[in-house]
Structure 1
Amino acid sequence: MSRIIDDIFGNKCEQVVQRVRSSANPVSPSDAQDGLFAACTLSCDVCAGAMLQAGAATEARDSEHYTPLVRAAQRGGVKVVKLLLEWDCQVNNPGGQQSNTALHMAAAEGYLDCCQVLIAAGATVNAQNAQEDTALILASLHGHLPIVRYLLQHAASIRKRGYHERTALHCAAEGGHLSLCRYLLSCNASLEEEDTFGNTPLINAAERGVTELLALLLGHGCDVNRMSHSAATALHYAAQHGAVNCCKVLLEAGAEIDAQDIRRFTPLMMSALNGHLEVVRLLLEFKGNVSMAAYNRRTALHLAAERGKRECCELLLDAGACIDAQDGLGCTPLHVALMKGQVQVMQFLIASGADMNRRPDNGNSLMHIAAIGGSEQCCSLLWKRGCDINDRNSDGNTPLYCAVKNKQVKTAKFLMEAGCDINVQGIHGMTALNEAALINHTLLLQTLLLQGADPSIPDDAGTLPLWFVVDHASQENVLLVLAAGRSFQSRSTLNPTATPTNPVELAAQKRQYQLLDWMLAVYGEEAANCLRQYLPALEQTHSESELKTLGKMVRSPQSLLRCCRLGIRRVVRGDSVSTPNVLKSLTLPQMLKSYVGLHDLVSEFKLSQSLPSGS
């Protein structure tokens, strides 16, 4: 920053003037221009005049594309504005990203004196910026009543539309400016104009929640039941935002209490959804219908339950809401509360007599739903009430499977610790472990295996958990499944475009040499023989060098040490040999125990993870 700019920001006006007058060290054109914008920002007419004398251009642009006049009007520097106009600044030149004129900026910021000077200089009163807003609209939005009066006195159009087709009255109502709205109405502003969304000023006022403003607009005869393009009325918006006094004013003015918007939501549903207890109470006092259903057949009780609004649920039940009403999927309020883990609402509804045996269309029990919702507390409470942790839904799936499928680690752990049957096969013969492998979820895989899940159970297509994780090329998950010590000999028909493959063949097919090497290390000669027999099938898809690489891996018999490891692991195959207690119980030297537990492969994996990319 140059010295003269420092002087301007330091309010050293005399030094700035002297510097301009001095011929010994003339001000550069760039410094003069920067100095003019600095003076406009600070509303310093002395420094601005000096910069103009130093050659600053009146129509230049700063980094935000403002002209000096627009910047001065934004800051309310009326003296600078007058000065610039005397230097023949173009009064209607827009600036900034929104292409506001100086009049726009002065009106938006509330500088009446600047507006007066600009209009006197020929500013176009109804000019529109990039968003089509006029100075009157901006002044109305920000509540500057004196400027609105002045603009209307100087031919500003009260019906002109701006951003999203809003009029000045829309903006004043949106801002909650009561006195300004009263003045605009006295100037014959239209009550029923609609913006882009079909909102009238009454709807904007209801959304703002200003009771006096609603009363004012209703007193001038606006339509209390006028709908937006989403079919929502002012009462919908007031109820949604919890404006109980506004709701009362609207209801007393004849608002339709059970009006339904485009989603068939009523005001009662909107207030229940957002937990506005006093609004719910008011609407019920005015006989709002608690049994009406939205587009998905959910009632106000469904919505309150889903959001955990227990007190609203209590009011709705007292008013006659059906506790077991079913939505489009057959879910009751209890079901949706469980799905969202709303413990207090769940307990309240059960205590109030909700049917614990009713199921949605997919046949999920309460335990299924709680498991999917991910609330360990809900699962625990249901278990204590006697709910079956091994129940099956319409697809034959257990709560554990559903928890895994929805990646709910906490509820999956709870169900396993509660003693659920971990190896049940459900839809398509999938176990919880198969599903965890399919979705490639490391933590769930690890937890299931440590709890005794059997990795040797294929699904109906013959697909093992190992096949899934190899298909994902997930090294960590492959190690987890390998550590469980089960056979790989099951061929999957999951891919209809390829011949059935077991995990070893799949790894060779996908060129996953690291995974293939690990499976050879774990399964020994059994895997090596499988790979040798599979090599001819790869001749059409693999290059000669790739086939040589695969051939080298099985050229010699597997080592005696690997065969010993396989033998030991087969002896203890009833348990996961990755479990520390199992390894500890083996009567073997510690080094061999580590080898049996695949610590060599784990170390190799950790080393590969720590190496820089491309190593």
Structure 2
Amino acid sequence: MLSIKEAVEQSDIDTLRDLVHHKQCTDEELKSCLFIAARNGQLDITATILEAGMKPDVHDEEEYTPLTLAAKHGHGMLTNLLVMWDCSIHMPGGPDQNTALHYGASEGYLEPVKILIEAKSEINSRNVQDDTPLILACLHGHLSVVKFLLAQNASVRKRGYQDRTALHCATENGHTEICKLLLSSAADLEEEDTFGNTPLICAAERGHAEVLQLFLSQGCDVNKMNHSAGTALHFAAQHGDLDCCTLLLEGSAEIDAQDIRRFTPLMMAALNGHEDIVRLLIERKCNVSMAAYNKRTALHLAAERGRLLCCKLLLESGTGIDARDSMGCTPIHIAANKGHTSIVRFLIEKGADLKKRAINGNTLLHYAASGGSVQCCKDLIDHRFDVNAQNRDGITPLITAIYSKQIKTAKVLLDEGSKINHRGLHGMTALNEAVFYKCPQLAALLLEYGANPNLEDDAGTLPLWFAVDGNCDESVRLLLGANSDYDIRSTLNSLCGPCNPIEHAIHKQKTHVLEWFLSAYCNRASNIMRQHLMTAASLPIQSSTAEVVQNLYSQPCLLKEYCRKSIINSFGRGSKIKKKIKKITLPYVLQQYLTFNEIKLLSD
């Protein structure tokens, strides 16, 4: 014999009635089958289950009621049956908590909508997002449902989600006929949503030219601004819609309107690379030299995004090639910083002033190095840019590359003779900066090119101190391999007072780093640890850490560690140690040991 679920799925009404009559099914099974029948529009099955005593207003696991399911799937006769069975027509259901009328309108099923309205369902009821049935019907383009709801006096000006009206929602998806119907029913063309967008702005943003033309013919305010002071023309230009831009300009849109950032439609088009719009706006005599809040022109913005054709159009129209923004940067500075080689070459060809510097004194090469473009750097070096030029803080292009962690451009500058040990702001060298910014790859590159690991900054801070302070174990290992100094005290951290890298490792409670220092500097490191524990009683060093440190310096260093220290000291200090060791005929394991590559990092 069939189960009750099988009977429902096969529409076997006789078997269902027999099972119900003989009570061969549970209430949960009946409830489950009621939802199957409601979803499938099975009239007799639904009636049989209801006659068996199942209430019509139960909810399934997704919170649907039988009525909301029937309306959602367009089952008019079943909707009528459930209404006649005295179910609650206003009860919301489903994950969207829509009423049955909301579902019927949203899905475009006119028959359930009519039945529900005749049953006195609230025509302007709101779901959890504040949308009315009319708003949902307009949003999804169901013209027949919209006509019926309007004929039943549904409110055309009710606001829903984000304060959108029915007209906003119809506009959003380009439903022109519905827009016409709403306008004939006194919909307000100047209503604003949460963001201050009118239906006209929505049409421009979505690129619905036919709807936009309809609104313009109705005399809407073509220059009305949203809360960001953006107009419809701003949005049409931003999205590159030529038809919409043309219609708006013909409708007397302000061609040089500025939004809250003082961006013009031309800037929006140039920023997004819409050459057709840029050309149209230039032909309509826009002001190509207007500046935004940061004094950037459309040419700055086009150069920033690498829009070559837009740059060409703007220069042909007479915009200033050397206009400065609020930082003193010209368009070529911006292009160099973003690595747009084609723009840089084009602007050089068109006579951009290559000697201009930004307010901070950065040259074009500083920006190219910071932006990471190898080709831009090479092109500028070919134009005889000084790789050691300093900005107002004494920073060279190499150090700006370090700031931005640009390994490739740093290597180009090093190959071209950049001064590797130059002291920049606060006496920081490129190596100090690389370690400070936790970039061991750059630290390794700088050491390979001869960076001195023993040049401290103005506060007496060695790269090794920064490596300890920044918890960068890889940099510690690199600097140990370069035989870095360890006994210069930094005054940078006021909390622990003047301290050298070994003492700072105690303050930071980096016991594994202290083990490396003992292995590298042997008795000298143990003497520093012993002495520091005796004099650092006022510092917040945990007793457990102090105990570990005491155990460390109490143990004798290994003979091989003393040998390594002696060999490395004989090679001097700096990056050349590694190269010298490689020249010695030694087993690979010994070479790894001498260069501290045997140290296992905690991150490994």
Distance 2:59 2:592 in 1: 73
Please tell me whether residue 311 in structure 1 is matched to residue 316 in structure 2.
no
Q: Which letter does structure 1 place at the counterpart of 2:376?
A: C
Q: Which letter does structure 1 place at the counterpart of 2:305?
A: R
Task: Tell whether the 8 Å contact from 1:69 to 1:84 is kept in structure 2 after alignment.
Answer: yes
Distance 1:247 1:500 in 2: 66
Please tell me whether residue 409 in structure 1 is matched to residue 407 in structure 2.
yes
Report the equivalent of 1:396.
394
Please tell me whether residue 550 in structure 1 is matched to residue 553 in structure 2.
no
Task: Tell whether the 8 Å contact from 2:7 to 2:16 is kept in structure 1 after alignment.
Answer: no
Please tell me whether residue 19 in structure 1 is matched to residue 21 in structure 2.
no
Structure 1 position 137, deviation (Å): 0.9
Report the equivalent of 1:347.
345
Distance 2:149 2:250 in 1: 36
Distance 2:194 2:593 in 1: 71
Distance 2:277 2:124 in 1: 42
Structure 1 position 29, deviation (Å): 0.9
Structure 1 position 577, deviation (Å): 5.8
Task: Tell whether the 8 Å contact from 1:20 to 1:27 is kept in structure 2 after alignment.
Answer: no
Structure 1 position 585, deviation (Å): 1.4
Please tell me whether residue 326 in structure 1 is matched to residue 327 in structure 2.
no
Structure 1 position 298, deviation (Å): 0.9
Q: Which runs of 5+ in 1 are unaligned?
A: 611-615
Distance 2:366 2:524 in 1: 41
Distance 1:296 1:490 in 2: 45
Structure 1 position 473, deviation (Å): 2.9
Distance 1:302 1:599 in 2: 48
Task: Tell whether the 8 Å contact from 2:496 to 2:507 is kept in structure 1 after alignment.
Answer: no
Provide the secondary structure at the position in 1 that maps to 2:554: coil
2:136 paired residue among 135, 138, 141: 138
Deviates most, 290-299 or 185-194: 185-194
1:70 paired residue among 63, 68, 71: 68
When normalised by structure 1's length, the TM-score is: 0.93
Please tell me whether residue 281 in structure 1 is matched to residue 279 in structure 2.
yes
Distance 1:530 1:506 in 2: 11
Report the equivalent of 1:567.
566
Report the equivalent of 2:178.
180
Structure 1 position 536, deviation (Å): 1.2
Task: Tell whether the 8 Å contact from 2:453 to 2:574 is kept in structure 1 after alignment.
Answer: no
Distance 1:210 1:407 in 2: 45
Structure 1 position 118, deviation (Å): 1.1
Alignment root-mean-square deviation, CA: 2.1
Please tell me whether residue 253 in structure 1 is matched to residue 251 in structure 2.
yes
Distance 1:40 1:17 in 2: 18
Task: Tell whether the 8 Å contact from 1:73 to 1:106 is kept in structure 2 after alignment.
Answer: yes
Structure 1 position 391, deviation (Å): 1.6
Q: What pairs up with 1:134-213 in 2 under 5 angstroms?
A: 134-213=132-211
Provide the secondary structure at the position in 2 that maps to 1:323: coil
Kindly provide the CA deviation profile for residues 529-558 of structure 1, in whole angstroms up to 9, marking residues without a partner as x: 222322211334446664443333333664
Q: Which letter does structure 2 place at the counterpart of 1:478?
A: V
Kindly provide the CA deviation profile for residues 514-542 of structure 1, in whole angstroms up to 9, marking residues without a partner as x: 21121111112222222232221133444
Q: Do the aligned partners of residues 592 and 111 (structure 1) sit closer, same or farther apart at CA in structure 2, a change above 3 Å counting?
A: closer
Distance 1:188 1:78 in 2: 31
Seq. identity, %: 48
Distance 1:407 1:480 in 2: 17
Distance 1:586 1:273 in 2: 58
When normalised by structure 2's length, the TM-score is: 0.95
Q: Do the aligned partners of residues 538 and 318 (structure 1) sit closer, same or farther apart at CA in structure 2, a change above 3 Å counting?
A: same
Structure 1 position 393, deviation (Å): 1.2
Distance 1:267 1:310 in 2: 18
Report the equivalent of 1:528.
526
Kindly provide the CA deviation profile for residues 349-386 of structure 1, in whole angstroms up to 9, marking residues without a partner as x: 11111111111111111111011112222222222222
Distance 1:454 1:330 in 2: 34
Deviates most, 267-276 or 467-476: 467-476
Structure 1 position 416, deviation (Å): 2.5
Kindly provide the CA deviation profile for residues 268-312 of structure 1, in whole angstroms up to 9, marking residues without a partner as x: 111111111111111111100001111111111111111111101
Provide the secondary structure at the position in 1 that maps to 2:78: helix
Q: Which letter does structure 2 place at the counterpart of 1:318?
A: E
Distance 1:543 1:176 in 2: 69
Q: Which letter does structure 1 place at the counterpart of 2:113?
A: C
Structure 1 position 324, deviation (Å): 0.7
Kindly provide the CA deviation profile for residues 68-90 of structure 1, in whole angstroms up to 9, marking residues without a partner as x: 11122111122221221122111
Structure 1 position 91, deviation (Å): 1.1
Provide the secondary structure at the position in 1 that maps to 2:197: coil
Structure 1 position 508, deviation (Å): 2.0
Deviates most, 407-416 or 123-132: 407-416
Distance 1:493 1:131 in 2: 59
Structure 1 position 414, deviation (Å): 2.7
Q: Do the aligned partners of residues 223 and 485 (structure 1) sit closer, same or farther apart at CA in structure 2, a change above 3 Å counting?
A: same
Report the equivalent of 1:613.
none
Provide the secondary structure at the position in 2 that maps to 1:212: helix
Task: Tell whether the 8 Å contact from 1:32 to 1:55 is kept in structure 2 after alignment.
Answer: no
1:512 paired residue among 510, 513, 522: 510
Q: Which letter does structure 1 place at the counterpart of 2:137?
A: A
Distance 2:52 2:24 in 1: 8
Q: What pairs up with 1:368-447 in 2 under 5 angstroms?
A: 368-447=366-445
Task: Tell whether the 8 Å contact from 1:341 to 1:373 is kept in structure 2 after alignment.
Answer: yes
* Count of aligned positions: 601
Provide the secondary structure at the position in 2 that maps to 1:298: coil
Report the equivalent of 1:359.
357
Report the equivalent of 2:4.
4
Provide the secondary structure at the position in 2 that maps to 1:440: coil
Report the equivalent of 1:450.
448
Kindly provide the CA deviation profile for residues 83-118 of structure 1, in whole angstroms up to 9, marking residues without a partner as x: 211221111111234331111111111111111111
Report the equivalent of 2:116.
118
Task: Tell whether the 8 Å contact from 1:202 to 1:214 is kept in structure 2 after alignment.
Answer: yes
Q: Do the aligned partners of residues 6 and 21 (structure 1) sit closer, same or farther apart at CA in structure 2, a change above 3 Å counting?
A: closer
Task: Tell whether the 8 Å contact from 2:204 to 2:235 is kept in structure 1 after alignment.
Answer: yes
Structure 1 position 314, deviation (Å): 0.7
Provide the secondary structure at the position in 2 that maps to 1:554: helix
Q: Do the aligned partners of residues 521 and 72 (structure 1) sit closer, same or farther apart at CA in structure 2, a change above 3 Å counting?
A: same
Q: Which letter does structure 1 place at the counterpart of 2:15?
A: Q
Task: Tell whether the 8 Å contact from 1:404 to 1:444 is kept in structure 2 after alignment.
Answer: yes
Q: Do the aligned partners of residues 54 and 496 (structure 1) sit closer, same or farther apart at CA in structure 2, a change above 3 Å counting?
A: same
Distance 2:391 2:273 in 1: 32
Structure 1 position 7, deviation (Å): 5.0
Report the equivalent of 2:212.
214
Q: Do the aligned partners of residues 364 and 20 (structure 1) sit closer, same or farther apart at CA in structure 2, a change above 3 Å counting?
A: farther
Deviates most, 86-95 or 539-548: 539-548
Kindly provide the CA deviation profile for residues 233-281 of structure 1, in whole angstroms up to 9, marking residues without a partner as x: 1111111111111111111111111111111111111111111111111
Provide the secondary structure at the position in 1 that maps to 2:122: coil
Q: Which letter does structure 2 place at the counterpart of 1:435?
A: E
Deviates most, 470-479 or 270-279: 470-479
Task: Tell whether the 8 Å contact from 2:477 to 2:597 is kept in structure 1 after alignment.
Answer: no
Distance 1:162 1:385 in 2: 61
Distance 1:67 1:317 in 2: 65
Task: Tell whether the 8 Å contact from 1:136 to 1:151 is kept in structure 2 after alignment.
Answer: yes
Task: Tell whether the 8 Å contact from 1:65 to 1:95 is kept in structure 2 after alignment.
Answer: yes
Structure 1 position 161, deviation (Å): 1.5
